[in-house]
Amino acid sequence: MSEAKAYLTRTAEFVHHELSTLSENWKGIPDRLKEAMRYSLLAGGKRIRPVLTIATTEALGVDGKCALPFACAIEMIHTYSLIHDDLPAMDDDDYRRGKLTNHKVYGEAMAILAGDALLTEAFHLLAQAAEKAELPTSIALTIIREAAQYAGARGMINGQVLDIENEQKIITLDELEEIHRRKTGDLIMYAVRVGALVAGASEEVLAALMTFSYQLGLAFQIQDDILDVIGDQEVIGKPVGSDENKQKATYPALLGLDESKQRLEICIQTAREAIETRDDLDPTRLLELADYLLLRDR
């Protein structure tokens, strides 16, 4: 196993364990709702976003454990976005993370509510984590405000709206990049930002990490589009051909597979260049993760 894969596996297990324990202890939530929330949360995603948060904190010389609850909150936001993305009114998919989608098991109403609840619970967790870590108030408030910014109507939801509005349309590459940047890039950027903010990063390092994570986020969605064409359903845990069915605007649809792969490589190279020669952070782990994402098959 490569170093990056071993780190990803190990850190993902750490995140999974924390998510399992903290959600087991949720009190005052109706049984069926809690079951639906935990069904998707613990279904076993790759945990790329929380791993990026932790790896960023570590790259800045701070113990990754400090970032763990923040990382878990980000995975809760991501999981909510997947539950809603799969709904019949959205991408209408039946499988996710190798299991039936949330609405297939719990019904549409409960799936919508489980998504809503994971999103709001994430804000609770962010605030609680900031309090516990005794972060400076300005940093704590930035982390919470930016969750709304990157995941909300100006960020990820903006992207989801563009994604829907551009079904069955021929668009430019710039327009496509904007969809991907918003629907997927923004939460990945936020994941890296939180790791940096928890570690007390300077504005300068933060700026470099933003270039890195912007390119990484774009690369991540290009590979997601590619896997929707050539992936193995057993491995990716969700349907292949979903984008073609819905005539989504994707990189393979616009540029073909070969050029999509070239774009992906350029993104990863640009991401690398943003951090590889800096002496105010240790880029090793983040670079390994970037290279791993270039080749991922799930």
Give the Cα separation of 94 and 87 in Å (integer). 9
Phi, psi of 288 (to 5 degrees): -60, -45
Q: Does 224 bind Mg ion (CB under 5 A)?
A: yes
Give the Cα separation of 215 and 208 in Å (integer). 11
Crossing angle of helices 156-165 and 68-85, rounded to 10°: 20
Give 121-129 contacts, CB < 8 A, sequence gap 24+: 121/26, 121/37, 121/76, 122/73, 122/74, 122/76, 122/77, 122/80, 122/147, 123/73, 123/147, 123/148, 125/22, 125/69, 125/72, 125/73, 125/76, 126/70, 126/73, 128/69, 129/69, 129/70, 129/73
Question: Positive or negative, the Cα torsion across 250, 254, 257, 262?
Answer: negative
**CB 120, min distance to Mg ion, A:** 22
Contact indicator for 226, 252 with CB cutoff of 8 Å: yes
Tokens (6 digits) for 188: 């990945």
**CB 242, min distance to ligand IPE, A:** 6
Residue 177 binding result from Mg ion, ligand IPE, none, given CB thresholds of 5 to 8 Å by partner type: none
Return the number of the residue (60 or 163) whose C-beta is nearest ligand IPE: 163
Residue 238 binding result from Mg ion, ligand IPE, none, given CB thresholds of 5 to 8 Å by partner type: ligand IPE
Give the Cα separation of 37 and 33 in Å (integer). 6
**CB 245, min distance to Mg ion, A:** 11
Q: Which residues form the interface with ligand IPE (CB under 6 A)?
A: 45-46, 48, 78, 81-82, 85, 91, 97, 156, 160, 183-184, 221, 224, 228, 238
Q: Which residue is nearest to ligand IPE (CB)?
A: 45
Give the 3-state secondary structure of residue 99. strand
Return the number of the residue (15 or 205) whose C-beta is nearest ligand IPE: 15
Return the number of the residue (248 or 285) whose C-beta is nearest ligand IPE: 248
**CB 227, min distance to ligand IPE, A:** 8
Rama region for 168: left / alpha / beta (φ>0; ψ in -120 to 50; rest): left
Return the number of the residue (144 or 254) whose C-beta is nearest Mg ion: 254
Residues numbered 71 to 130 that lie near Mg ion (CB under 5 A) are 85, 91
Residue 23 binding result from ligand IPE, Mg ion, none, given CB thresholds of 5 to 8 Å by partner type: none
Count of residues of this chain found to bind Mg ion when the rule CB under 5 A is applied: 4
Phi, psi of 279 (to 5 degrees): -105, 5
**CB 85, min distance to ligand IPE, A:** 4
**CB 212, min distance to ligand IPE, A:** 17
Residue 156 binding result from Mg ion, ligand IPE, none, given CB thresholds of 5 to 8 Å by partner type: ligand IPE
**CB 159, min distance to ligand IPE, A:** 6
Residues making contact with Mg ion (CB under 5 A): 85, 91, 224, 228
